[in-house]
A and B are shown apart, each in its own frame.
Chain A
Amino acid sequence: GQSLEQPSEVTAVEGAIVQINCTYQTSGFYGLSWYQQHDGGAPTFLSYNGLDGLEETGRFSSFLSRSDSYGYLLLQELQMKDSASYFCALLYNQGGKLIFGQGTELSVKP
């Protein structure tokens, strides 16, 4: 089966660092992606981990550990514009069956 768990809400202050966790239960997948979605908008791709370890893209980093069935998105130097929903998603085949978690709403406070 396919099941991803994320916290529903996270709050942090501007300039801080926040980590959004994603745990999963699945029988096999290719990799883990992260997406950002602002209210009412289209999701936008942030990162993909095909291998275990850390991927860094500017202020955002993503991590995957297959042995722990766990990944996370790390956002540094938080800005107000980072307030959005963040989704982890598992890729099940190269053609791209991508299954999303329920999302984490991040609120960044001044």
Chain B
Amino acid sequence: DGGITQSPKYLFRKEGQNVTLSCEQNLNHDAMYWYRQDPGQGLRLIYYSQIVNDFQKGDIAEGYSVSREKKESFPLTVTSAQKNPTAFYLCASSPQGVPGELFFGEGSRLTVL
């Protein structure tokens, strides 16, 4: 079945450590996205990529980095520079020519101790 796979589902890290969240899709979608969600809040855009080897900053890119070396993969690194990294991270993708519709993964919940 086609879909978006995020891993790990839960992750605990100590303050000061970098952590990389995986996002893989087999939907053949061109565009991929990373959002952050805090309790009771909306989704805030971290980074997005419309094509391989290209990506753009969203509204809250500071302290995060991404790469898009393959169409299927869009990993997110939460660096030690991110002041408040504990959150629910959602990866999504969308097909070319289908406006406004994102397909989301099940999310990764990061807790920094």
Contacts and interface: CB of A to CB of B under 8 A. Distances in A.
B59 A99 contact: yes
B85 to A, nearest CB: 19
Interface residues of B, number: 26
Interface stretch (A10-18, A38-46, A75-83): A38-46
Interface in B94-112: 94, 97, 99-107
B44 interface: yes
Contacts of B44: 100
Contacts of A50: 99-100
B77 to A, nearest CB: 21
A30 B99 contact: yes
Nearest to A43: B104
Interface of A: 2, 30-33, 35, 40-45, 48, 50, 87, 89, 91, 94-103
Given A33-B101, A45-B102, 20 more contacts: A30-B99, A31-B99, A32-B100, A33-B102, A41-B107, A42-B106, A43-B43, A43-B104, A45-B100, A48-B100, A87-B42, A91-B100, A95-B31, A96-B31, A96-B50, A96-B102, A97-B58, A98-B33, A100-B42, A100-B45
